[in-house]
Structure 1
């Protein structure tokens, strides 16, 4: 087709089990003026035959001669894309019918935005609901320092901006690395609507097949991010770093309240530097609020993981005693209410309703 307005870029590698659903979800979009660039990265299953069974003229099918990995495949797709706007898609996910239209409209309205993500629904391999990912959009910039809230197949980005920051440059955690680089030079945004089903498939690289490699790369990215604000000589104990990534078990296992307090003090220092550092995405009020929620979440997690009485001592040291008491009381009342919802008591018998 000639002069499409948008490129949809989808890498494929041994995705035959879900490929029909993924392709159909793009071809059935309400926004229709796009090219669908599908790049096979050396599949050995029926993926190639499935793609070739489609006759839609919007599909451009390209095959890598050998398996080169997702980062190299995506970079090839960016170079081949006919359009300035590129929407990412994965071969095992499902885009909702109005996803492209809503993202396209936003990007056309806000020419300064280089990256736009959306909320999503996480589903099992069989498509059953697991959870909704509805993070507060105002907090994306702050939290990108410590973790990646952005789901890769939900994004739409500008080709020129991605090329300016060096495109995908890591074999693992390539999306987190790219999003961070974009956020340092351009405005990023999140559309607060669920517009994609994100599948937890057994062939997922980041959660199954290469989980260890992705986790190592994620830690490397977080340390890089922290040094951006704190200086190149900044170092931090491994259990502190994991705590800031919301993996609180390592530091809880130490059962050392002074170290936990020290970790939270370092978090405050990092937050102060993030708030001071010029950036097009910086909003001091949003940063302060996001930091408060982050600290609150960490303390609450540790409260549940630490043994008595150190969990109570943690609340005293972090001045969270009243707050956590209220939260725990609320959680208890919620559980009792839920139990009453499922059970009724009649004539001293418990009846399931």
Structure 2
């Protein structure tokens, strides 16, 4: 049986060849590469045909789904995967040659977990490293993971995570939120619920930060709808007490602070939109403040932060 399934839901082609190259250069060769063309107008298939490698499987959607329902592509890849473990890749991101080897070492240390995570490099259009994501402990419970993520002590991306394929299928696949805005977080939280999550402090994934990413683009109202779905999931999750008494303190902190954390997440979403159009987006959020439970103070805070990050 194949050990790893690496999946690329592909739409953009500017960096697709480099992305595929980085995968095929892995020091561990026991993997399959699934490429799913999301009905792209760009030459995805032509680029894939440049590679003569039996590990590559190519599929194509009949219509585009990733513009809003990005998670549907992730879950289609999950249904096609034959590997024991699965990773979803962005079509413009890169893997270090020892990416799979680093995860294999984590799996050997913690063979009973359902989710693993690595540190990442953030790269620009030229492939230059401009930042690192924060390092994480070797192992932590789901409650610590939720706390540090919601407090914005760390950042992560879908390709930071590796999942046990069968466990991910059993939990219903990747958690579906509009534009996948927070889907990577919640999917990892669910997978880590009982056994926890293991982290590698070695940055073996390269996330390309550019103006075409979902973080920088996408429908702002859909992102805010996703925030409401995120808050609903968190509230439901926190209704269940932890089974390990060591988690009680952090659990209670999350219960008490969950609404504040969600307000911070909404401010972050507004801030991203205001970096592009401060005045227009300020009016947009003022118009929808009641629907999304946003205060005028939240809008002002986001506006000030957007100016500081331009």
Give the whole-Å Cα distance in 2 for the aligned partners of 1:109 and 1:136: 16
Give the whole-Å Cα distance in 1 for the aligned partners of 2:222 and 2:209: 18
Deviation at 1:237, TM superposition (A): 10
Aligned residue number for residue 147 of structure 2: 142
Instruction: Count residues with an aligned counterpart.
Output: 247
Deviation at 1:246, TM superposition (A): 7.9
For the Cα contact (< 8 Å) 1:95–1:197, is it kept in 2?
A: yes
1:113–1:64 Cα change, 3 Å: same
Aligned residue number for residue 51 of structure 1: 48
Aligned residue number for residue 245 of structure 2: none
1:243–1:80 Cα change, 3 Å: closer
For the Cα contact (< 8 Å) 1:25–1:97, is it kept in 2?
A: yes
State the 4+ residue runs in structure 1 displaced beyond 6 angstroms: 234-240
Q: 3-state SS of the aligned residue for 1:136? A: coil
1:210–1:29 Cα change, 3 Å: farther
Greater helix share, structure number: 1
For the Cα contact (< 8 Å) 1:84–1:158, is it kept in 2?
A: yes
**Which stretches in structure 2 are left out of the alignment for 5+ residues?**
241-254, 272-300, 305-310
Q: 3-state SS of the aligned residue for 2:7? A: strand
Give the whole-Å Cα distance in 2 for the aligned partners of 1:54 and 1:110: 35
Q: 3-state SS of the aligned residue for 1:113? A: coil
1:1-353 to 2 correspondences below 5 Å: 3-13=1-11, 15-69=12-66, 70-137=70-137, 138=140, 139-144=144-149, 149-168=155-174, 169-172=176-179, 173=181, 174-210=183-219, 212-229=221-238, 241-243=262-264
1:103–1:236 Cα change, 3 Å: closer
Aligned residue number for residue 308 of structure 1: none
- 1:181-204 superposed Cα distances (whole Å, 9 cap, x missing partner): 222244222211111110013221
Deviation at 1:170, TM superposition (A): 2.7
For the Cα contact (< 8 Å) 2:177–2:229, is it kept in 1?
A: no
**Which stretches in structure 1 are left out of the alignment for 5+ residues?**
251-301, 306-353
Give the whole-Å Cα distance in 1 for the aligned partners of 2:166 and 2:151: 26
Q: 3-state SS of the aligned residue for 2:59? A: strand
With the length of structure 1 as denominator, give the TM-score of the two structures: 0.62
Larger relative contact order (CA 8 Å, sep ≥ 6)? 2
Q: 3-state SS of the aligned residue for 2:177? A: coil
Deviation at 1:210, TM superposition (A): 3.9
Q: 3-state SS of the aligned residue for 2:238? A: helix
- Mark the structure with the bigger radius of gyration: 1
With the length of structure 2 as denominator, give the TM-score of the two structures: 0.70
Give the whole-Å Cα distance in 2 for the aligned partners of 1:144 and 1:158: 22
Give the whole-Å Cα distance in 2 for the aligned partners of 1:240 and 1:35: 39
Deviation at 1:224, TM superposition (A): 2.8
